[in-house]
Amino acid sequence: MIHPHGGRLVNRFVSGENREQLSITAAKLPQIVLNQRELSDLEMIANGAMSPLEGFMGESDYRSVVDSMRLSNGLVWSIPVALSAKTEEHKSLKKGGQATLVDEAGRALAVMEVRDVYEVDHEYEAQMVLRTTDEEHPGMQYLKSISPVYIGGAIQMIRRPEHKDFGRYRLEPKETRVLFATKGWNRICAFQTRNPIHRAHEYLQKCALEVTDGLLIHPLVGETKSDDIPADVRMRCYEELIDKYYPQDRVVLSVFPAAMRYAGPREAIFHALVRKNYGCTHFIVGRDHAGVGSYYGTYDAHAIFGEFEPREIDITPLFFDHAFYCRSCGNMATTKTCPHGKDDHVFLSGTKVREMLANGELPPAEFTRPEVAQILAEATR
């Protein structure tokens, strides 16, 4: 099976007597309250999804990632994974000390070794990572909402964040790896999504199934924009599609607990590396991957993979052009396979789909399966 990024699947969970002792220690330490993105990052660091990270980034790794898309040891990593201080928290922290990471309800989740407390320039981070400082960009809005003081250090996890949804779909990297091995899959393709799967997505996934042993449909269920379709609605759509239109012995549905950065090309690299940790060998990169608005070019997320040697990424990207239903061809196609003009192509933007649903109209069957359209219509009533 493919090796995790960096060669080892990280596990930062503490158990048994060590966990009991650390829980006692945690109650006496300064606390840092995590926001929703940080909670997602903490969980993914602990379970190995963000291997080789063992904690939130210290200053040297952070600055190297922002400037060169590499950790300070040279390993490819494209997105900062940072913990921001809240209000005056950092003043009670000492380098070399410890802090307890808690959720918004005050539950202690982890103990962190405080290795770095450092100040950053959010404008510079945004320009380098998001390629914009426009305050309309959701990533920039997030940066403006947090402190420019970051805290770095390894974590020891004593309790998982509480989840009230998708219990049977919350597979950690060690679990997906066992599942793929049990199924006898050697070539596994991952599909990242934060939207309901429409016919274009289905086309890409089934093309990937033609050249791999299995498909991991891995919808992101962490924090997204307020106007994105809720995760529970999306999950009902995925279940319906898999039940009726996919070979169920060749597809796994599992949730991806990450928060969206909307960082376009850089996030495409991040999404690929993380799926390698889940055991995937291939990764679908489609049109405007992880994009938002018009901040990124249609195929910028394809081009960025060319900035690295394939062995450095070590997961095979499958690049797909814009897919659509062509009335003249009578099937799904892309600009690589269809000779007809745009007037023959059925493509609807997310905005247009939301408008149709709000007006009581169902998107056409050429765009989305009727069962999916019905679920979306019911959810918008």
- The Cα 147–Cα 128 span in angstroms is 18
Confidence of residue 234 (pLDDT cuts 50, 70, 90): very high
C-alpha pair distances (Å), 140 with each of 195, 207, 230: 21, 35, 22
- The Cα 253–Cα 28 span in angstroms is 41
Report helix, strand or coil for 335: coil
Residue 377 pLDDT: 87
Question: Quick one: which of 34, 104, 44 has its CA closest to 79?
Answer: 44
Percent of the chain with pLDDT over 90: 84
Quick: pLDDT tens for 30-70: 999 999 999 999 999 999 999 999 999 999 999 999 999 99
Active site members? 194-195
* Whether residue 227 has pLDDT greater than 80: no
**Going by DSSP bridges, is the β-strand pair 188-193/214-219 parallel, antiparallel, or unpaired?**
parallel
The two tokens of residue 21 are: 């002792």
Residue 350 pLDDT: 67
Provide mean pLDDT across the span 209-231: 92
Residue type, 289: H
Vertex 227 angle, CA 223 and 232, to 5°: 60
Q: Which residue in the block uniquely carries the two structure tokens 């040279």?
A: 74
Vertex 322 angle, CA 321 and 324, to 5°: 130
C-alpha pair distances (Å), 374 with each of 206, 229, 260: 23, 14, 26
Quick: pLDDT tens for 348-379: 766 677 788 888 888 888 889 999 999 988 88
* Whether residue 87 has pLDDT greater than 70: no
| Residue 295: DSSP 8-state | S
* Whether residue 278 has pLDDT greater than 90: yes
Residue 339 pLDDT: 95
As beta bridge partners, residue 101 has 32, 110
Q: Per-residue DSSP letters for 66-106?
A: HHHSB-TTS-B--S---EE--TTGGGG--TT-EEEEE-TT-
- Determine the topology of domain 16-157 in CATH: Sulfate adenylyltransferase (3.10.400)
* Exposure on the CB side of residue 71, measured as CA atoms within 13 A: 18
The two tokens of residue 12 are: 């930062």
C-alpha pair distances (Å), 268 with each of 73, 216, 291, 318: 21, 16, 9, 12
Is the distance from CB of 191 to CB of 201 less than 8 angstroms? yes
Residues whose CB falls within 8 Å of the CB of residue 63, separated by 6 or more in sequence, listed in order: none
Q: Tell me the average pLDDT of the chain.
A: 94
* Whether residue 89 has pLDDT greater than 80: no
**From the CA atom positions of the chain, what is the Rg in Å?**
21
C-alpha pair distances (Å), 275 with each of 100, 131, 211, 282, 355: 29, 24, 18, 9, 33
Vertex 53 angle, CA 215 and 38, to 5°: 85
* Exposure on the CB side of residue 6, measured as CA atoms within 13 A: 20
**Long-range residue pairs from 20-26, CB within 8 A, at least 24 positions apart, any chain:** 22/111, 22/156, 22/158, 23/108, 23/158, 25/98, 25/111, 26/100, 26/108, 26/111, 26/158
List the domain boundaries for the chain. Answer: 16-157, 168-380
Decide if domain 168-380 falls under CATH 3.40.50.620: yes
Question: Quick one: which of 145, 21, 129 has its CA closest to 79?
Answer: 129
Residues whose CB falls within 8 Å of the CB of residue 103, separated by 6 or more in sequence, listed in order: 33, 34, 39, 109, 161, 162
Residue type, 284: I
Buried b / exposed e over 220-252, threshold 16 CB at 10 Å, is bbbbbeeebbebeebbbbbebbbeeebeeeebb
Which of the two residues, 246 and 379, has the higher pLDDT score?
246
